[in-house]
Structure 1
Amino acid sequence: MSEFKDFYDTLIENLDGYEGEYAYFINCGPNLFNLLCDLLSQKEISREMRLEISAAIAYYVAPDDIIPEEIYGPYGYIDDIFVSVYVLRKVAKEFGYEFLQDLWKHETDVKEVMDDCYDNSLELLEDKVHAVLSYVGLMD
């Protein structure tokens, strides 16, 4: 009988200790994915917020997203990270960063990680931000 791997493990394998350009925040992708998944088990999360969280999770597995990993390798996670933090900032706005920190399984400060990932991914995406948010259905 074969065992299924958790998608978090797949993300870790895909990055495999990536040390290239933008590694300082690209390697945060699996942990942000995990945080999104953990949020779905929280009873406080509304139906509407669950849909946005689910959209961000789904963006990680979408094969033909705006910057596909199959073509760009680890660099292709920049748009995934942006979508994750975009949604996580909405959660933080509603529940506070302490709520997220309690779910965060790392020693680092979740707000600092999110701010760094958001600023860097936003800068790198430039004119693709609208396309990314439209693709996943998160445009305001």
Structure 2
Amino acid sequence: MEATFKDFYDTLIENLETYAGEYESFIDYGPDLFKLLCDLLNSDVDRSLKLPICGAIAYYVAPDDIISEQIYGPYGYIDDIYLSSYVLKMVGERHGYEFIQQKSSLSDVESIIDECEAKSLEILSDEEIKSIMDYIGL
């Protein structure tokens, strides 16, 4: 019997499909932001942005990040989403949001990135943000 493996994007969707909590409006973007980071990594993005993109991708799969999904469930994706939006803003500043939009299935990627950053900043403390950045070396 041949084994089949799930894409991590599918795992993220599965982890969040039943979430109907307070932060659902932006936590549901987590899988799409992860996929977008992966797609940007495989594009002609500026070489200096590849390391932050890799860091944001790795942060999604790190089991013991600052707000662990294993402990907090879907709430644990808030730090991942914050970091994704932070790195995607770096890409937007360098390449423009039209460049990102071309790689995304999201309807208005710039607004979504702004929303995810703003909502996560409402929740995360300054200390948590510093810890997230220290965790991946930004």
The answer to whether TM tops 0.5 is yes
- The alpha-carbon deviation at position 21 of structure 1 amounts to 1.2
> Match of 1:16?
17
> Match of 1:129?
129
Letter in 2 for 1:83: L
Letter in 2 for 1:11: L
Is residue 61 of structure 1 aligned with residue 61 of structure 2?
A: yes
> Match of 2:117?
118
- The alpha-carbon deviation at position 48 of structure 1 amounts to 2.2
Deviations 1:14-70 (A, max 9, x none): 112421111000000000000000001112x23321111000000000000000000
Letter in 2 for 1:113: I
- The alpha-carbon deviation at position 136 of structure 1 amounts to 1.2
Following the alignment from structure 2 to structure 1, what is the Cα–Cα distance between the partners of residues 62 and 109?
Answer: 25
Q: Which runs of 4+ in 1 moved over 4 A?
A: none
> Match of 1:31?
32
Q: What is the count of residue pairs matched by the alignment?
A: 136
Gaps of 5+ in 2: none
- The alpha-carbon deviation at position 91 of structure 1 amounts to 0.2
- The alpha-carbon deviation at position 131 of structure 1 amounts to 0.7
Following the alignment from structure 1 to structure 2, what is the Cα–Cα distance between the partners of residues 46 and 98?
Answer: 15
- The alpha-carbon deviation at position 89 of structure 1 amounts to 0.2
> Match of 1:81?
81
Following the alignment from structure 2 to structure 1, what is the Cα–Cα distance between the partners of residues 113 and 46?
Answer: 21
RMSD: 0.9
Between the two proteins, what is the percent identity of the paired residues?
57
Following the alignment from structure 1 to structure 2, what is the Cα–Cα distance between the partners of residues 18 and 91?
Answer: 29
Gaps of 5+ in 1: none
TM-score (norm 2): 0.95
- The alpha-carbon deviation at position 123 of structure 1 amounts to 1.4
Letter in 1 for 2:4: E
Letter in 2 for 1:13: E
Following the alignment from structure 2 to structure 1, what is the Cα–Cα distance between the partners of residues 52 and 23?
Answer: 26
